[in-house]
Amino acid sequence: MQLPGVIADVLADKRLQTLLTLIVLDVLLGIAAALRDGAFRWSEVGRFYQTTVLPVFLGYFAVRLTLPYLSAELLGPDGSWLTETVATGLWLAGVGSLLASVAGSVKKLVGGIRGRN
């Protein structure tokens, strides 16, 4: 398989799409919370991408892209379970991190609304 086809297969991965959806949700809620608090700064959006988006997205993307090509000699004849376990573990870590960040933004938004009543 050629590289463009491999990349297309990885981008079609539902777990990667879930990560991208959570990243977009996190960005939008974070911006909304910062705007509500009057604390929005573009530099914080850049920091978020540097500390969250790049490690989570690129890390998972790289793992999904390379794990299928590890040789049977390296992993043994039943090594496919290991590659899937590693990919799933990284995905769960990314989802957990993003959900925690989304929850923090929701808490700021809801807390601010309740505080104004």
In the chain, % of residues over pLDDT 70: 87
> Distance between terminal CA atoms of the chain?
59
* CB contact at 8 A, 66 and 93: no
Domain ranges of the chain: 3-108
pLDDT digits (tens, 9 = 90+) for 86-115: 888 888 998 999 999 999 999 988 886 655
In the chain, % of residues over pLDDT 90: 18
Q: Which carries the bigger pLDDT value, residue 116 or residue 89?
A: 89
Residues 6+ apart with CB under 8 A from 109: 29, 32, 33, 36
In the prediction, which pLDDT does 115 show? 54
